[in-house]
A and B are shown apart, each in its own frame.
Chain A
Amino acid sequence: MAHSSLIGRAVAARSQAFLLVLLAIAVLVPVMNLAVPAGSFFHIPSYGVSLFGKYVCYALLALSIDLIWGYCGILSLGHGAFFALGGYAMGMHLMREIGPRGVYGDPILPDFMVFLNWKELPWFWHGFDFFPFALLMIVAVPGVLAFVFGWFAFRSRVTGVYLSIITQALTFALMLAFFRNEMGFGGNNGLTDFKDILGFDLQHDTTRCGLFVASILALGLGYSICRFVVRSKAGKVLVAIRDAESRTRFLGYRVEGYKLFVFVLSAMLAGVAGALYTPQVGIINPSEFSPANSIEVVVWVAVGGRGTLIGAVLGAIIVNGAKTLFTGWFPEIWLFALGALFVGVTLFMPKGVMGLLRGDGGGGAKIKLLLEKLGAARTGRMLR
């Protein structure tokens, strides 16, 4: 008992430290961008702020995957879909904010609709000029899609790899659909050329810093929600479902309900991540739906350590940081590195970076295990 409360205190201390670090970053980065003069060593250029902001959005997306994969065993290979839907919802608001400043100067229709010779706004674009409505849609659209999809899938007990494959099909289908001009989301080019958000110029440094701080806050809030969920009693049931779904069901828990709840929550978090991503990157297009993107997110989580929440955040930032550096230095190598990372992490670091930090189940132990297995196989063969 004393032991478990010790662990509990350590975990609490760690998450507090994590939130404090986030807070420090939220203060430091804007200061280093806005207050520190441009020539200084400590100055962060504006593109750097947007870049870090992008990482933070990715971290939130990874967090949402860790919540379902790490704690409930649902491996979604289509979470990019929820991310992109959130991004599109925000993008639609930003398109409406452009107003008559577009290339064609139409007061209502976005440029691509004028270009396609559309006469009026499609019904699903109405309301997006109103920011609170857009905010609602950012969580509602991914949430509703996740609810409908999850309700069908969990009720009929589609689990494991089958679920992974159909989530992949979901995002693939959405990608194909969003590529079509007739869908009314800008087709191939997606939504871009945003001017400002809530009246603040998107190109301006303070706006960028504001978005960065908003992203950090969203990440901190998302982390707190996830932590609250996994530490609650429901969180224990989720872990039980992950480890032995049938047994949990036999114990009388409504497995479908728990799964559905956590899946929808996760999709909403992904939607928020996408919504913050769009204004900082300046574009949202259908390639965000591509299955490869969604699979990559899972690797971030695996690298960081699944089922640790903080690990997902670390993984997203480490992998994306490495990606930025690698693609800048030797673009040829990046896919090799990423591929090797996938293989290496699954084979040698099943608990990811967090496992290494904690010192349990790290690389050394895994390699020892492998060697043992090999040895056993060899002796088995000799016996025969």
Chain B
Amino acid sequence: MASALRLMLFAGLWLGLTFGGAHSGFAQTNPQLTPLLEKLDTRNFKQKADAVAAIAAIDDPMVVPLLKTLGAGDLYRRKSDGTYFRAIRKGSAFALHDLVSGDEVETLSKSAVERIIVNNSMRGQIDALLGSLTLRSADPKQRLSAAQSLLKERDPSGLNALEAAIEAEEQDHIRDVMIAARSAIVLYDTSAAQADRLEAVAALKARGGRSMMSLLSGAAGDQDPEVADAATAAAAAIDKELQFWALGQNVLYGLSLGSVLLLAAIGLAITFGVMGVINMAHGELVMLGAYTTFVVQDAIRSSAPHLFDYSLLIAAPLAFAIVGLVGIAIERGVVRFLYGRPLETLLATWGISLLLQQTVRSIFGPTNKEVGNPSWMTGGFELGYLTITYNRMWILVFALAVFAGLLLLLKKTAIGLQMRAVTQNRAMASDMGVRSGMVDAMTFGLGAGVAGLAGVALSQIDNVSPNLGQGYIVDSFMVVVFGGAGNLWGALAGAFTLGIANKFLEPFSGAVLAKVLVLVFIILFIQKRPRGLFPLKGRAVES
């Protein structure tokens, strides 16, 4: 089984070599190789074996395919000029293929070629030579995969070749795999010395990771009690380390969920927190942002496909502007008549949310729309044992950027100052010359525009459908209520706390129950702190 696998592997490598463009025509045969090739054509297996060993020592791209073909018994010599080919029987004739390129050269009758025969002991010799040859191949990828397959197979016969390869290897990460493979072989070789095996345990432990852990726990039942104990302890240590990493991964998932919640809630933190307006249409504003992304991508696909990677950069300001204008229209058209009547505002904006949903459904249809990821949003990378996908990472960055931008806007600009003034004391702000009506419209528009930005980001990870907003409305209200209305920092803390809490509960209770538990927790939390984590203080509380 093991050798069959190895054969397949080598066949793969060989194909890779031949089609990979590593060309060297037969005409330019390595001068060192020529006399050795002559020696192959003999009936004496001893001589032949010596020639094979000598050939294997030569660094030439032809060596591996030659030995491979020879081992498979497909090596033929053309009688006319003495060159070697891989020959495939075609009826009574033979099709000759170039050893390196694999191209068919010509078809000759049986009498024009001569087969190079090998016996069993030579086949074993060739297999071993091939193993060490790929371990010392010029191509690092080939060396790595050879080492990895040895690590998986743990074939003791490869040990010597492995030792030699470790000596010669210059790239650290490949040598590490080779050393791990050697350690694995030694660990599972019950005839090896105890000290060596203990050393192997230490080496495997140092390497760490899930596969090393299973290797080590596989050796936990060893006859040698000391080796077994060491392996058990090492496996436990790796397990502990992996749990630590899993913790980190959970935090990461939590941060990712938190960034989504933050994006969805931060606009609400402005309208609800700063203005005291319950905007139940907030989710639908997010949805409008997502649809803006869809429309932008659609336009780019049909007219300028090369700009696709920039689609989100184009969609973001557009979504901010469009959804912001929708927000201003809502404020001027409906909400401003309802200030001071929060419960009525809630109902009216819920009505608006239904109108927006149905409008989008009538225009774009009820089905999910395909929003693509630009190339820089796809894929991911590994950090230690953490997997980080690019879209989650960019959304986190984007959420923090939006947060920072809003904070700056509120604290450092004139309009931000006016917004805060109107929030704290509308009458006084009016008396000081602030046009409170305009500030209201701008604030609402800002909250809506941020919802639009959230929609651009969410279109990358969620289904873009008319129902997109409904999925976020309860969660984002929870974030704002938990964090404390009227405070952007509250929204930040709330979003990440809830996100991480959710992801930490999930392994124990399942996703749905985790959400239920978080909701119950918030309901209880509100009892203790009715105004959230960061409550507004002073007169604003009672107004």
- Scan B335-352; emit 1 where CB is below 8 A from any A CB, else 0: 001100011111110111
Which B residue sits closest to A154, measured CB to CB?
A: B527
Q: Is A152 on the interface with B (CB-CB < 8 A)? A: yes
Nearest chain B CB to A101 CB, angstrom units: 32
**Interface residues of B, count at CB 8 A:** 47
Which B residue sits closest to A345, measured CB to CB?
A: B347
Contact of A295 among B350, B362, B530 (CB under 8 A): B350
Give complex CA distance A170, B280 in Å: 17
The answer to whether A152 touches B524, judged by C-beta atoms less than 8 angstroms apart, is yes
Q: Which residues of A contact B343 (CB under 8 A)?
A: 69, 75, 160-161, 164
- Scan A166-207; emit 1 where CB is below 8 A from any B CB, else 0: 101110110011011000000000000000000000000000
Which B residue sits closest to A333, measured CB to CB?
A: B358
Q: Which residues of A contact B515 (CB under 8 A)?
A: 173, 176
Stretch at the interface among A223-231, A253-261, A267-275, A336-344: A336-344
Main secondary structure of the interface of A (DSSP, over half): helix
Contact of A168 among B361, B362, B474 (CB under 8 A): B474
The answer to whether B347 touches A166, judged by C-beta atoms less than 8 angstroms apart, is no
Nearest chain B CB to A280 CB, angstrom units: 26
The answer to whether B337 touches A373, judged by C-beta atoms less than 8 angstroms apart, is yes
Nearest chain A CB to B177 CB, angstrom units: 45
The answer to whether A346 touches B526, judged by C-beta atoms less than 8 angstroms apart, is no
Give complex CA distance A180, B526 in Å: 26
The answer to whether B351 touches A341, judged by C-beta atoms less than 8 angstroms apart, is yes
Q: Which residues of A contact B334 (CB under 8 A)?
A: 343, 347
Chain A interface residue bracket vs B: 35 or more
Nearest chain A CB to B471 CB, angstrom units: 11
Q: Is B437 on the interface with A (CB-CB < 8 A)? A: yes
The answer to whether A342 touches B519, judged by C-beta atoms less than 8 angstroms apart, is no
Nearest chain B CB to A159 CB, angstrom units: 8
Contact of B354 among A335, A346, A347, A381 (CB under 8 A): A335
Q: Quick one: which of A88-139 are within 8 Å of B by CB?
A: none
Give complex CA distance A180, B527 in Å: 27
The answer to whether B481 touches A347, judged by C-beta atoms less than 8 angstroms apart, is no
Contact of A335 among B357, B433, B512 (CB under 8 A): B357
The answer to whether B278 touches A346, judged by C-beta atoms less than 8 angstroms apart, is no
Give complex CA distance A345, B510 in Å: 42
Contact of A162 among B355, B481, B528 (CB under 8 A): B481
Q: Which residues of A contact B347 (CB under 8 A)?
A: 295, 298-299, 302, 342, 345-346
The answer to whether B351 touches A342, judged by C-beta atoms less than 8 angstroms apart, is yes
Q: Is A80 on the interface with B (CB-CB < 8 A)? A: no
Q: Is A247 on the interface with B (CB-CB < 8 A)? A: no
Q: Is B478 on the interface with A (CB-CB < 8 A)? A: yes
Give complex CA distance A152, B470 in Å: 28
Q: Is A350 on the interface with B (CB-CB < 8 A)? A: yes
Q: Which residues of B contact A373 (CB under 8 A)?
A: 337
Which A residue sits closest to B353, measured CB to CB?
A: A339
The answer to whether B357 touches A177, judged by C-beta atoms less than 8 angstroms apart, is no
Which A residue sits closest to B437, measured CB to CB?
A: A377
Nearest chain A CB to B427 CB, angstrom units: 13
The answer to whether A339 touches B527, judged by C-beta atoms less than 8 angstroms apart, is no
Give complex CA distance A346, B437 in Å: 20
Q: Quick one: which of B250-303 are within 8 Å of A by CB?
A: 272, 278, 280
Q: Which residues of A contact B342 (CB under 8 A)?
A: 160-161
Contact of A161 among B278, B354, B362, B470 (CB under 8 A): B278
Q: Is A249 on the interface with B (CB-CB < 8 A)? A: no
Give complex CA distance A346, B351 in Å: 10
Which A residue sits closest to B477, measured CB to CB?
A: A165
The answer to whether A75 touches B530, judged by C-beta atoms less than 8 angstroms apart, is no
The answer to whether B357 touches A155, judged by C-beta atoms less than 8 angstroms apart, is no
Give complex CA distance A262, B147 in Å: 75
The answer to whether A153 touches B358, judged by C-beta atoms less than 8 angstroms apart, is no
Q: Which residues of B contact A379 (CB under 8 A)?
A: none
Which B residue sits closest to A295, measured CB to CB?
A: B350
Give complex CA distance A337, B295 in Å: 27
| Known pairs A169-B478, A346-B351; A177 contacts B513 (CB<8 A) | yes
Q: Which residues of B contact A176 (CB under 8 A)?
A: 512, 515-516, 519
Contact of B516 among A157, A177, A291 (CB under 8 A): A177
The answer to whether A166 touches B481, judged by C-beta atoms less than 8 angstroms apart, is yes
Nearest chain A CB to B87 CB, angstrom units: 62
Contact of A155 among B358, B522, B527 (CB under 8 A): B527
Nearest chain B CB to A103 CB, angstrom units: 27
The answer to whether A342 touches B354, judged by C-beta atoms less than 8 angstroms apart, is yes
The answer to whether B523 touches A170, judged by C-beta atoms less than 8 angstroms apart, is yes
Contact of B512 among A169, A180, A336, A370 (CB under 8 A): A180
The answer to whether A158 touches B530, judged by C-beta atoms less than 8 angstroms apart, is yes
The answer to whether B527 touches A156, judged by C-beta atoms less than 8 angstroms apart, is yes
Q: Is B329 on the interface with A (CB-CB < 8 A)? A: no
Give complex CA distance A373, B354 in Å: 27
Nearest chain B CB to A312 CB, angstrom units: 14
Give complex CA distance A172, B515 in Å: 10
Q: Is A292 on the interface with B (CB-CB < 8 A)? A: yes
Q: Which residues of B contact A168 (CB under 8 A)?
A: 474, 477
Q: Which of A169, A291, A338 has the most CB of B within 10 A?
A: A169
Q: Quick one: which of B484-543 are within 8 Å of A by CB?
A: 510, 512-513, 515-516, 519-520, 522-524, 526-528, 530-531
Nearest chain A CB to B351 CB, angstrom units: 2
Q: Which residues of A contact B478 (CB under 8 A)?
A: 165, 169
The answer to whether A342 touches B350, judged by C-beta atoms less than 8 angstroms apart, is yes
The answer to whether A346 touches B344, judged by C-beta atoms less than 8 angstroms apart, is yes
Nearest chain B CB to A188 CB, angstrom units: 12
Instruction: Give residues in A with beta carbon < 8 Å to B.
Output: 69, 75, 77, 149, 152-153, 155-158, 160-162, 164-166, 168-170, 172-173, 176-177, 179-180, 291-292, 295, 298-299, 302, 332, 335-336, 338-347, 350, 370, 373, 377, 381, 384
* 14 residue pairs A–B, Cβ–Cβ below 8 Å: A156-B528, A165-B477, A165-B481, A166-B526, A169-B474, A173-B520, A180-B513, A292-B470, A295-B347, A336-B354, A340-B351, A342-B352, A347-B334, A370-B337
Name 16 extra pairs, CB < 8 A, besides A156-B526, A346-B347, A370-B337.
Answer: A77-B346, A153-B526, A158-B527, A160-B343, A165-B477, A168-B477, A292-B470, A295-B280, A295-B347, A335-B357, A339-B352, A342-B347, A342-B352, A343-B348, A347-B337, A377-B437
Closest CB pairs A-B (n = 9): A342-B351, A339-B354, A339-B355, A335-B358, A173-B519, A343-B351, A346-B348, A339-B351, A156-B527
